[in-house]
Structure 1
Amino acid sequence: MFLLLLGVPLSWTGHLQGWDPNLVFLCAALAVVALAKFMGQATEEIAALTGPTIGGLINATFGNATELIIGLVTLQAGLVEVVKASITGSIISNLLLVAGLAMFLGGIKFREQSFRPEVARMNASVMNLAVVALILPSVVTYADANLGALSIQELSTAVALVLIGVYGLTLLFSLKTHSYLYTIHEAEAAEHEAAARLAPNPVLQAEGSIPQVLTAPPERAGLGFWLLALLGLTVLVALESELLVSTLEHTLEHLHITSLFMGVILLPIIGNAAEHATAITVAMKDKMDLSFSVSLGSTMQIALFVAPLLVLAGNVLGQPMNFNFGTVELVAIAVSVLLVNSVSSDGRSNWLEGLLLLATYAILGIAFFFLE
């Protein structure tokens, strides 16, 4: 990730010196991947220093900050359809690509993995609501062909406000009233990790040549440092997003792909790459609870917070954006939620279920590639 940070100076050097826009786009994309990773780390450190309630709120707010920043910059540039496509892409990539890879790779290493079915069912219910909310404006538009653009925009704004309200209540549920459902396993994992760190080194113990010495853990940076780091990283992500969007149209022409494919497939992978890697890595350590928490939690944040916020921001920026998605996008979202709910309902996973999710993502990706 530190090597990928070289994309920051390279992208701006290329922009100022007139390099090939495709190369600038690539450098900016690599920089966003690295910056998103470090933003996630800064958010986690702030959460650890501020306690479970405030920390959970910070995590819930900044967990998808990269996607939100890219969406705002793209929206300001007037690429509304790309923003809507990226919302669809973020949802299906988290549900199918990330969860699928986690189940598949974790299932190859472990015959069967388990996670809390009660949390999975709760997430499924919330995602069902999100699907209804995202589909409804499109259904109303198809049902009433005479419905004006202003009415569609007002309907989308009202739905966005409801979704943000629901998101706030889900935070109250997970951080306060039913926090035990979400924290008990995290506490156990922390205890096991601490015990592993303090356990004798079996290699040194066998050699008997070096005595075991327990040293104090290194002193952690303070809250002020991480807040400044988060602020600086946010500014850098915004600047790199500007370069990403400014070279987007040239890259689309060079690669001969549509803006829909770019928004649904490529942009979500760029913005979520670090988070995707985390979910897959912990699944291969047999921590499917944490893996599902990352992938499904990110999906709910996109559907209930980021997407509605972009609709409201469009009204402010003078770039009206609504929830009137295309038919294939609606089918993709509905199929993704339905399939994930189906394979996660029993609280157990294996490699075949992961393969089914990945195959569905591949089929949808092919469909978006050919769709104009």
Structure 2
Amino acid sequence: MSIKNLVSLGLLIFVPIAIAAEKLEWGALTVFGLSAIAIVPLAIWLSTATEEIAVSLGPSIGGLLNAVFGNATELIISLVALKEGLVDIVKASITGTVVSNLLLAMGLSMLLGGLRYKEQEFQPVVARVNGSTMTLAVIAIVLPATVITTSNVVEPSAISHLSLFVAAVLILVYGFTLIFSLKTHSYLYDVGVVELEGEATPEHSEHGEGKPNLWFWVGILLAATIGVAVVSEIFVGAVEEATAGLGLTPLFTGVILLPLVGGAAEYVTAVRVAIKNNMDLSVSVAMGSSLLVALLVAPILVIVGQLIGQPMDLNFSLFEVVAVAIAVIIANLISLDGRSNWLEGLLLLATYSILGAAFYFHPV
């Protein structure tokens, strides 16, 4: 068993502790901290199970599974928060997930990978395709805010209808990106599948197996999903009171804290493969996760919000729009040449730190 799996297995002890803390009313801050830690190993096991099932089912179905369930943890947490009426935090978490994946995850990967290898290479064409699609996502975030800013009076229903239309377009575009990556141009993305198979083979070959046990990992996937849903209820129930007690705004909570909790699995995977000198997969994980959130998770939340009576639109604040635009621009610039080093990773992390400080000091 890998070190990652051993650590995540040990951290599962926080799941019953978090549940007990909520039942015994240990205080919002304690419950918030324990449930946040408990979500991390569950997210890692959910991601691991998805990868193992992908290897077992083969490139096409496996790639589709990874593409759809890659950010299941963030989606579950956001759905629970949306159900509780925390719309502002949910919208901020969309911004934060995009920013943290492009700057934090990719920055850590380039920094730690660059410290081990002088210069690392990856396919610039994949980065360019992902960058172009992310630009569309930025446009989708910018437009509703621009409509309000440039109009004297805008009916809430108009923004709601615009958001639903944009959400439908984004889901359609995501579907076409799947066709592009899994069918017509799958050869550009084969490195991810090869890497996953390469990591799975040694562990299973010791037991004389060629592929992972499908039903075992399906069980792990279901158990991890249920666990994330249960602990997310506890986490979301304590988040407002706990963060208010710490003096944190809903904006900072959504943009910085929630992505750190929900995106742990992506960060671990991106850094781990970068240290193994596979920047192709590392960049694909970081940028692909941002695409999944912008083109699928956000539109789903808009549609679900309308259905459950918690209206959510794509009208992000100007500051959130600027933050996403900055993250996309700098990530595109750094990834254009298909090469990375530790300094570029440091630049991404520095940008993330500055944005994080700006969100911290941003008034409510």
TM-score (norm 2): 0.93
1:71 is aligned to 2:98: no
User: Residues of 2 paired with 1:224 and 1:10: CA distance?
Assistant: 28
The answer for the alignment partner of 1:39 in structure 2 is 46
Do the aligned partners of 2:191 and 2:280 also contact (CA within 8 Å) in 1? no
Query: Is the partner of 2:9 in helix, strand or coil?
Result: coil
Query: Residue deviations 1:176-233, cap 9 Å, x none?
Result: 1111111157538856996x89xxxxxxxxxxxxxxxx96635765323322322222
The answer for the alignment partner of 2:112 in structure 1 is 105
1:249 is aligned to 2:254: no
The answer for the alignment partner of 2:263 in structure 1 is 272
Aligned match for 2:165, one of 153, 158, 162:
158
Query: 1:246 Cα deviation (Å)?
Result: 0.6
The answer for the alignment partner of 2:317 in structure 1 is 326
1:5-154 correspondence to structure 2 within 5 Å: 5-154=12-161
The answer for the alignment partner of 2:3 in structure 1 is none
Query: Is the partner of 1:2 in helix, strand or coil?
Result: helix
Query: 1:145 Cα deviation (Å)?
Result: 2.8
Distance 1:162 1:185, change over 3 A: closer
Query: Residue deviations 1:265-298, cap 9 Å, x none?
Result: 0110000112101111211121111110110110
Structure 1, 221-230 or 252-261: larger mean CA deviation: 221-230
Query: Is the partner of 2:248 in helix, strand or coil?
Result: coil
Aligned match for 2:218, one of 214, 227, 232:
227
The answer for the alignment partner of 1:353 in structure 2 is 344
Identity of aligned residues (%): 51
Distance 1:170 1:188, change over 3 A: same
Query: Residue deviations 1:325-350, cap 9 Å, x none?
Result: 11110000000000010010000111
Structure 1 stretches of 4+ with a deviation exceeding 4 A read 188-194, 218-221
What is the one-letter code of the residue matched to 2:275?
Answer: M
User: Residues of 1 paired with 2:136 and 2:335: CA distance?
Assistant: 17
Q: C-alpha root-mean-square deviation of aligned residues, in Å?
A: 2.0
User: Residues of 1 paired with 2:187 and 2:46: CA distance?
Assistant: 27
5+ long unaligned stretches in structure 2? 1-7
5+ long unaligned stretches in structure 1? 198-213
What is the one-letter code of the residue matched to 1:99?
Answer: M
What is the one-letter code of the residue matched to 1:368?
Answer: F
Distance 1:170 1:17, change over 3 A: same
1:178 is aligned to 2:185: yes
User: Residues of 2 paired with 1:241 and 1:295: CA distance?
Assistant: 23
User: Residues of 1 paired with 2:199 and 2:222: CA distance?
Assistant: 33
Do the aligned partners of 2:124 and 2:336 also contact (CA within 8 Å) in 1? yes
What is the one-letter code of the residue matched to 1:241?
Answer: S
Distance 1:9 1:219, change over 3 A: farther
Query: 1:158 Cα deviation (Å)?
Result: 0.3
TM-score (norm 1): 0.91
- Larger Rg over CA atoms: 1
1:300-311 correspondence to structure 2 within 5 Å: 300-311=291-302
1:337 is aligned to 2:342: no
Query: Residue deviations 1:149-176, cap 9 Å, x none?
Result: 0100100010000000000110011001
